[in-house]
Amino acid sequence: METMAEEPFINIGVPKKEGIISSGIDKLDRLLEGGIPQGFTTVILGTPGSSIEILVKQIATIDNVTYITTEETKDEITDTMKRFNWRVPEISFVDISTRYYSSVLEGEQKRINVYQQRSKLKLKELIEIGSQGMPTTVTGGEDFLAVLSNNLKKVPMGGVIIINSLDFFLSQYRQEDVLKTIYASKVSNLKKKGALIIVMTKGIHGELFEKKMEGLADCVLELDVIQKGSSFERFLSVKKMRNYAKKIGIARYIIDDSGFVLEMIERIM
């Protein structure tokens, strides 16, 4: 029968271990018994309200990071880091967010221009155009899945790659295509002995897809928010750590002025 053993945190740094990449958060490194093994692909699943975006930005404060952002701009990310008084390192940003929203606005402007042009036409001309069908205003766009693949190939040896988040690609492409790209990225990361960190919202892409991602990953972290009466508690679970069964556990966490703070570890015995 499995039992849970609690161990309080001691506020000391975690010694650096060979073959391990630090998460940049001492207490998270302790939960992982050192950090993330080189070559590992880590999937971080988070429910809405779990503050997963703060955890990811805090991890990005370590060195040698390539940050692929689809939800916030580079400036928004660095502004958040400064607000928490974190160290802001030299980060290689791939700002898909800005590129995507620029293309959306450009496409919308083309639609507006078409309607403005038509509003000046006479009724007879409008009828003739209508019989030919609505002209296409956007003739394709940037392949952001290809942008992801190309940038992952450029990551240096031992580099940390953060994809925040996979939700964007799943909203634009078929799940099978996204999985193929992630698997190729996993192989590349393994060869380069880096750390590939993939962020995804829990519970919106289907249970089967989540299981496939968990199967592909070497490490799975899950952030949950649980309501207890009129209050909420947040938990981080280490659901999977390939070849490191002892690292499976759960910890309560809070978000304060310093950022993401783990409080108490519970190990599965």
Phi-psi group of 204: left, alpha or beta (phi > 0 → left; psi -120 to 50 → alpha; rest → beta): alpha
Give the model's pLDDT for residue 263.
86
Give the model's pLDDT for residue 136.
42
Beta bridge partners of 254: 261
Lateral strand order in the sheet of 65-69 = 4-8, 259-268, 249-256, 231-241, 219-228, 41-46, 195-201, 160-164, 65-69, 92-95
Per-residue pLDDT tens digits for 156-187: 999 999 999 999 999 999 999 999 999 999 99
Question: CA–CA separation, 22 vs 16, rounded Å?
Answer: 8
Q: Which two tokens stand for residue 45?
A: 């699943």
Question: CA–CA separation, 59 vs 66, rounded Å?
Answer: 11
Cβ atoms of residues 249 and 36 within 8 Å: no
Beta bridge partners of 222: 45, 237
Cβ atoms of residues 42 and 214 within 8 Å: no
Give φ, ψ of 187 to 5 degrees: -65, -45
Give the model's pLDDT for residue 141.
72
Beta bridge partners of 83: none
- Tell me which residues of the chain have a pLDDT lower than 50: 1-3, 8-12, 107-116, 118, 134-139, 269
Which DSSP letter does residue 191 get?
A: H
CATH class of 4-97+143-268: alpha beta
Four-point Cα dihedral 220, 254, 79, 161, nearest 10: -10
Per-residue pLDDT tens digits for 179-191: 999 999 999 999 9
Q: Which two tokens stand for residue 201?
A: 């919202």
Question: CA–CA separation, 174 vs 165, rounded Å?
Answer: 16
Sole residue written with tokens 């956007």: 138
Give the model's pLDDT for residue 128.
62
| 175-201: b (≥16 Cβ within 10 Å) or e | eeebbebbeebbebbeebebbbbbbbb
Give the model's pLDDT for residue 230.
85
Cβ atoms of residues 165 and 69 within 8 Å: no
Give the model's pLDDT for residue 229.
83
| pTM of the predicted model as reported, rounded to 2 decimal places | 0.81
Per this entry, what is the length of the chain? 269
